[in-house]
Chain A
Amino acid sequence: MSALLEIADLRVEFSTRYGPVTALDGVSLHVNPGETLGVVGESGCGKSITALSAMGLVPSPPGRVAGGSIKLAGEELIGARDARMRELRGGEIAMIFQEPMTSLNPVFTAGDQIAEAIMLHQDVDRGTAFDQAVALLDRVGIPEARRRASDYPHQLSGGMRQRVMIAMAVSCQPKVLIADEPTTALDVTVQAQIFDLLNDIQRDLGTAIVLITHDMGAIAEMADRVAVMYAGRVIEQGAADDILDNPKHPYTRGLIECIPNLGKGANEDGGAVPPPLAEIPGVVPPLHLLGDGCAFADRCGHRFDRCDTARPALMGDAHPAACHAVEEGRL
């Protein structure tokens, strides 16, 4: 099966007051039809820039795609004409943003905003588009969809706003749906509803989903394959089960171990104080301070001399990781 969205060796640079910094450094990802790829990492690891690149939405200036390729169903997106990108965006590839409050226009009704997206891509009149919008709102589980279609964003709850965003994103049945932290602003119960909805849509339409998150729990529940990002690079990639059960890179291990646990049999500890959580010390380094070595070395418990001098490459076939210690069998 050929990949629907294929990103190869993508390099994105930003000019900053510290000079040019490399926000994405040789990122390669792909997602197949009907599959969910989870992209995981802390804030500042380049997850959202990867998503924006695929949408052709990297703010420029200061950003610049400096190399690599992004292919959507075989068509190269880097260097595509603006008019072509506008056709694809919303039509073939759509995105759900993190903050439903700020990504909806406050002065138009929910129904009008969805209808606008439909009219941009299909040759229909306003009335038909609005009817389609109502049907979509109903599809994403908004009760009394016809009445709600006339509501403004401020009249909707956070969960409903995110549903409106999803309705808008799937309005033209895109092949690829990029969800950038779609539930971080929402309660867990609403998050569960949104995840279930995304899974339903995928099942019905065969949509490929790229789910960007910092939560390994969300990855377990949603993803078929996972790419772990750190400081602008993919540092580990593989099937979700392999990554979760058998993480190689120390950063991936840290991300999994630092989650307070619910699932491993709730009454195991008999009410005793749980052991302290594993920590990843420190923070993601600022991109302009990255040296020649491994970007994670400062926070890593397995650091040795090679980590400071050479940046590890992504090594391995089915489940590659970018770590000198893994490569040398020290881990």
Chain B
Amino acid sequence: MSILSARDLTVRFPMPKTSFFAERQYLEAVRGVDFDLAEGRTLGIVGESGSGKTTTAMAAIRLTGPATGEVRFEGEDLFTLDDEAMRQRRKDMQVIFQDPYSSLNPRDRVNHIVREPLDLLNVGDDASRDARVEELFGLVGLRRDQLNLFPHQFSGGQRQRISIARALATNPKLIVCDEPVSALDVAIQAQILNLLVKLQEELGLSYLFISHDLGVVRQICHDVAVMYLGRIVEQAPRAELFAKPRHPYTQALLSAAPSLARRKSAGYVRPAKLKGDPPSPINPPPGCAFAERCPKAQAICKQDRPELKAEGDALVACHFPD
């Protein structure tokens, strides 16, 4: 059963008018996104910066502005909930942010940081909240004698553990992980990824996992959605996506990712080179958004936008998929 499903999710931000008579322009950060996140699994959203991956995830848990479409959390339509009902629902969905330096209050002791969601959402009584904080510290691999320290006394990896403890405090079912390891060194990154996998197995969590690093996504995600300029261009189970990427953009992303097997000494030359930058999300081009950078683009790509269609086990939005 899917714990979170989105249908035709769209986020449009109004831009400031350039003059009184000018027509208002809109930045479409997310355009008609559909996805299903199954219970106890991890759905990865990958893409370059500006592709709308964070906005998609934040809109799906009602943390960002004017979203339209439908999002169901355990079958319940989130966009129609009133504020108090939504607040109660927040216990079930929490977030881990990218930067463990700016997402923890520097003036607050870490035991209070981890306890705060319990206070705000009125979970349990005083004693049980304190006990829960201690339990969480153990769960994420921090020591009890560190409870009264301030965030600056921890390293980046430990801070991310604190963020994870805070996210786990209310016993959520879903955690949105917004690039949780991209600010960390590779050695520390491995510690945090292993912790996330362990917690998922022990607590049955579902993750919506945002990343730009395909290696990380392959390590942790069961299903992967690749986004480009606000749309999903390919969605597939992990094995399928990495074994047989069908969209030219997915192929380009894979060939761009550094890998130990690609050696300079062996004369490695990158096959599919991606030129330039993605187009602007204000007045995006009418056809396929990737057409300008695509090695396989034909005339039709610039006129008709390809819909997401089934190809084997995958969904691909391309006129000429592999």
Contact = CB atoms under 8 A, between A and B. Distances in A.
Interface residues of B, number: 51
A277 B258 contact: no
Interface in B38-52: 48-49
A220 B264 CA distance: 6
Interface stretch (A23-31, A127-135, A168-176, A255-263): A255-263
Nearest to B239: A271
Contacts of A241: 263, 265
A217 B215 CA distance: 10
Contact of B257 (A258, A262, A264, A278): A262
Contacts of A280: 187, 190-191
B171 interface: no
Interface in A251-289: 254-256, 258-264, 266-267, 269-271, 273-274, 276-281, 283
A266 B190 CA distance: 19
A277 B190 contact: yes
B213 A188 contact: yes
Interface in B154-213: 155, 157-158, 185-191, 193-194, 197-198, 212-213
Contact of A244 (B219, B239, B255, B260): B260
Given A277-B194, A278-B190, A192 B239 contact: no
Interface in A201-234: 214-218, 220-224
A138 interface: no
Interface in A149-197: 157-160, 187-193, 195-196
Contacts of B49: 158, 187
Contacts of A214: 185-186
Interface of A: 36, 42-43, 141, 143, 157-160, 187-193, 195-196, 199, 214-218, 220-224, 239-241, 244, 254-256, 258-264, 266-267, 269-271, 273-274, 276-281, 283
21 contacts: A187-B49, A188-B253, A190-B277, A193-B274, A195-B258, A196-B273, A199-B264, A217-B258, A217-B259, A221-B258, A221-B264, A244-B260, A259-B190, A261-B260, A264-B261, A271-B237, A271-B240, A277-B194, A279-B191, A283-B158, A283-B188
Interface of B: 48-49, 155, 157-158, 185-191, 193-194, 197-198, 212-216, 218-219, 237-240, 242-244, 252-265, 268, 270, 273-277
